[in-house]
Amino acid sequence: MDMSPSTIRPKLTARGVNVFYDDAHALKQVDLDIRAHEVTALIGPSGCGKSTFLRCLNRMNDLIDICRVDGDIRLDGEDIYDPAVDLVYLRARIGMVFQKPNPFPKSIHDNVAYGPKIHGLARSRAEMDEIVASSLERAGLWEEVKDRLDAPATGLSGGQQQRLCIARAIAVRPEVILMDEPCSSLDPIATARIEALMDELKQNFTIVIVTHSMQQAARVSQRTAFFHLGDLVEVGDTDTVFTQPVDPRTESYISGRIG
Amino acid sequence: MNDRAEHIYKTFDEELRQLDNRLAEMGGLVEAQLAGAVEALRRGNTELAEQVVARDKEIDALDIEIDLFSVRLVALRQPVAADLRTIFAAIRISSDLERIGDMAKNIARRTHAVSRFPPLTTTASIASMARVVQTMIKQVLDAWTARDTEAAADIFARDAEVDQHYASLFRELLTYMMEDPRNIGPCTHLLFVAKNLERVGDHTTNIAEQIDYAVLGTRSAERETHDPTNTHIPAAEDR
Q: Would you give the distance in Å from CA A161 to the centre of its chain? A: 17
pTM over 0.90: no
| Integer Cα distance of A40 and A222 in angstroms | 6
Read off the CATH number of the domain in which B25 is found. Answer: 1.20.58.220
> Tens-digit pLDDT profile for chain B (239 aa)?
445 789 998 999 999 999 999 999 999 999 999 999 999 999 999 999 999 999 999 999 999 999 999 999 999 999 999 999 999 999 999 999 999 999 999 999 999 988 888 777 777 889 999 999 999 999 999 999 999 999 999 999 899 999 999 999 999 999 999 999 999 999 999 999 999 999 999 999 999 999 999 999 988 765 555 555 554 443 333 33
Length of chain B: 239
Contact A125/B at CB under 8 A: no
CA distance B219 to chain A (A): 12
Domain at A10-103+174-254, CATH homologous superfamily: P-loop containing nucleotide triphosphate hydrolases (3.40.50.300)
Q: What is the pLDDT of residue B3?
A: 59
Interval A103-118: pLDDT, tens: 999 999 999 999 999 9
Q: What is the pLDDT of residue B218?
A: 87
Q: Does residue B113 sit within a domain?
A: yes
Provide the domain limits for residue B100. Answer: 10-238
Q: Name the phi and psi angles at B86, rounded to 5.
A: -60, -45
CA distance A255 to chain B (A): 6
Q: In the structure, what pLDDT confidence band is assigned to residue A9 with cuts at 50, 70 and 90?
A: confident
Would you say A52 and A24 are in contact if contact means Cβ atoms under 8 Å apart? no
CA distance A252 to chain B (A): 7
Judged by DSSP in three states, A6 sits in: coil
Task: Locate the domains of chain A by residue range.
Answer: 10-103+174-254
Considering only CB atoms, which chain A residues are within 8 Å of B5? 252, 257-259
Would you say B212 and B152 are in contact if contact means Cβ atoms under 8 Å apart? yes
**Count of domains in chain B?**
1
Amino acid residing at A71: G
Q: What is the pLDDT of residue B230?
A: 53
Would you say A245 and B71 are in contact if contact means Cβ atoms under 8 Å apart? no
The dihedral through the CA atoms of B6, B8, B14, B15 has a sign that is negative
Q: What is the pLDDT of residue B233?
A: 41
Considering only CB atoms, which chain A residues are within 8 Å of B78? 215
Whether B217 sits inside 8 A of A244 (CB atoms) is: yes
Q: Does residue B1 sit within a domain?
A: no
Q: Does residue B85 sit within a domain?
A: yes
Whether A243 sits inside 8 A of B80 (CB atoms) is: yes
Considering only CB atoms, which chain B residues are within 8 Å of A256? 7-9, 12
Test mutation, A214, A253, A257, chain B, max B CBs within 10 A:
A257
Contact A252/B at CB under 8 A: yes
Considering only CB atoms, which chain B residues are within 8 Å of A259? 5
Interval A50-59: pLDDT, tens: 999 999 999 9
> Stretch A179-187: mean pLDDT, rounded?
92
Considering only CB atoms, which chain A residues are within 8 Å of B9? 256
Whether B80 sits inside 8 A of A252 (CB atoms) is: no
Q: Name the residue facing B5 among A242, A254, A258 (closest C-beta).
A: A258
Q: Does residue B69 sit within a domain?
A: yes
Contact A251/B at CB under 8 A: yes
- Average pLDDT of chain A to the nearest whole number: 93
Q: What is the pLDDT of residue A162?
A: 95
Cβ count near A52 (within 10 Å): 24
Test mutation, A43, A219, A244, A247, chain B, max B CBs within 10 A:
A244
Contact A226/B at CB under 8 A: no
Whether B78 sits inside 8 A of A244 (CB atoms) is: no
Backbone dihedral region of A47: left (phi > 0), alpha (psi from -120 to 50 degrees) or beta?
left
In chain A, positions 203-222, which contact chain B (CB-CB < 8 Å)? 214-215, 218
Q: Name the residue facing A252 among B5, B9, B217 (closest C-beta).
A: B5
| Chain A residue closest in CA terms to B85 | A243
Q: Name the phi and psi angles at A26, rounded to 5.
A: -85, -25
Strands across the sheet containing A10-21: A24-35, A10-21, A67-75, A78-79
Would you say A104 and A116 are in contact if contact means Cβ atoms under 8 Å apart? no
| Chain A residue closest in CA terms to B216 | A244
CA distance A216 to chain B (A): 12
